Structure 1
Amino acid sequence: MFKKLPGDEARTLVTTTPDTAVVFRPAVVRTPAIFTVTIFLWRLLAGIVRLIWRHPVAVAVLAVPAVLSILYGWRIALVAVAVPVSLLAPWPFFDRASFDRWMGWRLLAWWRLVWIYRRHWQSVMIVSGLGRHLQGRDYLPHIIRVTCTSWADLVTVKMISGQSVKDWADRIEHLAHGFGTTSCRVTVARSGRLLLTFPRRDPLATPLPALPIPETPSVGPVEIGRCEDGTPWRLKVHGTHVLVAGATGAGKGSIIWSTIRGLLPAVRAGLVQVWALDPKRMELSFGRDLFGTRYAASPADCADLLEAAVSVMQERADRFAGLQRSHTPTVDDPFVLVVVDEVAFLTAYQSDKGLKLRISAALATLTTQGRAVGFGVMAALQDPRKEVMNVRNLFPDKIALRLDESEQVDMVLGDGARDRGALADHISPVPERGAGIGYVRLETSPDPIRARAGYVSDSDIRAMVADFAEEANK
């Protein structure tokens, strides 16, 4: 049997002994120790500089007592630590908001970075397939920073060269469960970097009451609720069309009535008109006095009302032609919002083919030509399939409330919305926990936003009718 041979000598060996193993040992180049030491020291220095640059406060908190202890003894170092701590200790009790903004969330972000993300990063990346183990070396995405808010961790990640956003979007469930959260959302921070959102709690779990009616008239954006990050949810209705999809009891009425509620001062000022189509005769009929003659319930009346809206829109377009390309609401040319509560009943489930064609044609005309002349459509439906609502792509802004199937999320919000974290099929069916919660995808952004609309109760609607019915019918 042959011994271990270096280099290429094994290629020239010939043996007649069957099943003889030739052990090949490649030539070994020994690296001088000075190179190894130099590389180690350089990496150590770079790590220290990076640590000081990224965490100057934390380094100072640890370094100052150590230096004082060496120079002046441990008693002086203890006093230097005890005095600031005693002064800062009451801070969170007197002004928790400022403490969290300047220190609390930073400390929590450091703890989450060390104990949650760096601790489990390698295993989660390898198991989920976002990291690679090649030739004894791990190729992993890098954590750039972790930022904490009152409800979520925001993790900025640098992808491996060659990865795409879809690679991460396809693995949001792996990431969520790997780091101990209920969900994960993926957004693009910049080229090669992603922002992963891991919620620690649900800030929308508590139902919102109806928001106060604005004091000044405005055509929007209309504040109808709260976003997940605590900012007001302002829905744009002028200059766009809005599609609201959700299962029974998902809270479509909350969005419709919150929008109408926010437009009431403009309705009183004559800057807005609300035309209502209520084929179910349930949701909008409760406040029908707000709409007056611009209310329709039967399919025939709905077709007539839609065609009347098309006629007004085309007459206005003839007057605007060659003079202006955008609409500014005035008393003579107000913004017209056409609200359709259950549009699928008119476009898909209508047995009269003549009425079905009239309604579909009128909706298509309004959604394709109405934005520039001050006509907007807000349509609500339960079933978002194409054969049910064949003009859904003509609605730039879309809202997905609780849906029954995961495939319906992309039907409403567009391809890839669920992979980016729009888990509308996971919203709780319990009304107190999930009604009015939805994911919003705007024309200007592909990333879905989670928000919750305020609940407008029956008493709120009665008060609206009592205060605004007379002005709305003018």
Structure 2
Amino acid sequence: MFKKLPGDETRALVSTTPDTAVVFRPAVIRTPAAVTIAIFIGRLLIGLVRIVWRHPVAVAVLAVPSVVAWLYGWRLALVVVWIPFSVLLPWALFNRDSFNAWFGRRLLAFWRLIWVYRRHWHAVMVISGLARHLRGRDYVPRLVRVRCTSWADLVSVKMLTGQAVTDWADRIEHLAHGFGATSCRVSVARAGRLLLTFPRRDPLAVPLPALALPETVSVEPVEIGICEDGRPWRLKVHGTHVLVAGATGAGKGSILWSVIRALLPAVWSGITQIWGLDPKLMELSFGRAIFEGHYAATPEECADLLDEAVSLMQKRAAKFAGVQREHIPTVEDPFILVVVDEVAFLTAYQSDRALKQRTMAALATLTTQGRAVGFGVLAALQDPRKDVLTIRNLFPDKIALRLDESEQVDMVLGDGARDRGALADHISFIPSEGAGVGYVRLETSPDPIRVRAAYVSDADIREMAALFETEETV
């Protein structure tokens, strides 16, 4: 049999002795030493310039004392080191945020680049199957840059020619464990470039108490929690529909009540109405006064309330026809948010078939025609299967809290969401750690965002309802 080496061509050869190994010497082109040295020096200079450009603080910390010690001795180098150190140490102790923004995270990024990613890059790429070996050469994706935030490492990568995002998304667990992280998320930076996110800690591990009532009247994206990067989580409810899916105890109520709480000033001003459908009689009943008569609990009442919403929506559509294409909330034409807790009870588990069809028809009409005229639907359910809620694709924005199975993640957030890092099936079962934690996939972006909703307690809900009960009494 033949043993093929790089540069050999054995297809046209025939051997009369099958047991004899035919070995050919590969073609070798001798490169002049001057050319090799010039290429090496050029690459070295380019690498030094790149390091100085991307990590000026880290290079200065290492290079300046070394140069001073070499030219003037270690005593002067010690003084050079001590003077900035005496300034930076109090800065780091008394104003940690600004110090990290200017120096700390830059030094950390340089250290993580050298010690974590550069040191293990080749091995992880080969073992995970992202590198290729062709004709005796290893082709490895290029590590471009490492940046550090307060909670994660952001690694920029240049893919090999011909690779796809799914090649990386299918190997997020290999990448996470290979670089010592708990998870990895893949997003597209630009053509041929990826951004890998490796969390160093979990900023959402601590429960978030109920947010203060807003001081301004607005139906714009409402603040209901925090994102993983520390920014406020603002959820759009006007001009869209939102589906929330999660297992029992995952924190669906935190999202529903946080949205209601954020809209209270708009409700007081009259430019917003919140209608509640509570077939379980457990979640929305605490704040029944907030819905101002638009509350339903039994399946019959829920169907009637949905039909009323559809009728009002159609009248408003006829009023807006030829006049305006976008809804602006006013007292005459308020934004109406229909909140449905456990929508599956009405669409799948309802024994009355006629009632089920009425409910499904009304929800489908609202979700297909209500956005432009100021009607929004915020629905929550436990089981995201298609036969439970056939209209789930009519909800542009989706939220996946803790789910029982990995397949359910893509059912809620769409195909490929879990491969991009939406590990909703890995969220902790412990309420203090996982309740209200989830992943959001917006209509405008395919990349899931990890978030945590504020926890609105029963006492908070009673205080909110008491405000409306007091108004009614007065």
Does the alignment reach a TM-score above 0.5? yes
1:130 matched to 2:130: yes
CA distance in 1, matches of 2:23, 2:302: 86
- 1:164 maps to 164
1:69 to partner: Cα distance: 3.7
The structure-2 alpha-carbon separation of the partners of 1:17 and 1:130, relative to structure 1 and needing over 3 Å to count, comes to: closer
Q: Is the 8 A contact 1:339 1:379 kept in 2?
A: yes
1:84 to partner: Cα distance: 1.8
Once the two structures are superposed, residues 21-79 of structure 1 have per-residue CA deviations (whole angstroms, 9 ceiling, x without a partner) of 76544564433222222222222222222233223333333333344344444433332
SS in 2 for 1:145: strand
1:184 to partner: Cα distance: 0.5
Q: Is the 8 A contact 2:57 2:107 kept in 1?
A: no
The structure-2 alpha-carbon separation of the partners of 1:405 and 1:27, relative to structure 1 and needing over 3 Å to count, comes to: closer
| One-letter amino acid of the counterpart of residue 198, structure 1 | F
Once the two structures are superposed, residues 242-282 of structure 1 have per-residue CA deviations (whole angstroms, 9 ceiling, x without a partner) of 00000011111110011101111110100111111111111
Structure 1 vs Structure 2 CA RMSD: 2.4
SS in 2 for 1:89: helix
SS in 2 for 1:405: coil
Once the two structures are superposed, residues 363-396 of structure 1 have per-residue CA deviations (whole angstroms, 9 ceiling, x without a partner) of 0000000000000000100000111000000000
SS in 1 for 2:440: strand
- 2:117 maps to 117
1:235 to partner: Cα distance: 0.8
1:37 matched to 2:37: yes
Q: Is the 8 A contact 2:58 2:110 kept in 1?
A: no
- 1:267 maps to 267
- 1:399 maps to 399
- 1:150 maps to 150
Indicate the larger mover: 285-294 or 146-155. 285-294
CA distance in 2, matches of 1:436, 1:472: 32
CA distance in 1, matches of 2:430, 2:59: 48
The structure-2 alpha-carbon separation of the partners of 1:471 and 1:14, relative to structure 1 and needing over 3 Å to count, comes to: closer
CA distance in 2, matches of 1:14, 1:394: 65
1:290 to partner: Cα distance: 1.5
Whose Rg is larger? 1
1:227 to partner: Cα distance: 0.7
- 2:178 maps to 178
SS in 2 for 1:177: helix
- 2:279 maps to 279
Q: Is the 8 A contact 1:257 1:456 kept in 2?
A: yes
Q: How many corresponding residue pairs?
A: 467
Counterparts of residues 39-438 of structure 1 (less than 5 Å) = 39-438=39-438
TM normalised by structure 2 equals 0.93
1:133 to partner: Cα distance: 2.4
| One-letter amino acid of the counterpart of residue 362, structure 1 | A
SS in 2 for 1:213: coil
- 1:4 maps to none
Q: Is the 8 A contact 1:254 1:455 kept in 2?
A: yes
1:292 to partner: Cα distance: 3.3
The structure-2 alpha-carbon separation of the partners of 1:293 and 1:21, relative to structure 1 and needing over 3 Å to count, comes to: closer
SS in 1 for 2:385: coil
1:200 to partner: Cα distance: 0.9
The structure-2 alpha-carbon separation of the partners of 1:472 and 1:350, relative to structure 1 and needing over 3 Å to count, comes to: farther
The structure-2 alpha-carbon separation of the partners of 1:72 and 1:180, relative to structure 1 and needing over 3 Å to count, comes to: closer
Residue identity over aligned pairs, in percent, reads: 75
SS in 1 for 2:280: coil
TM normalised by structure 1 equals 0.93
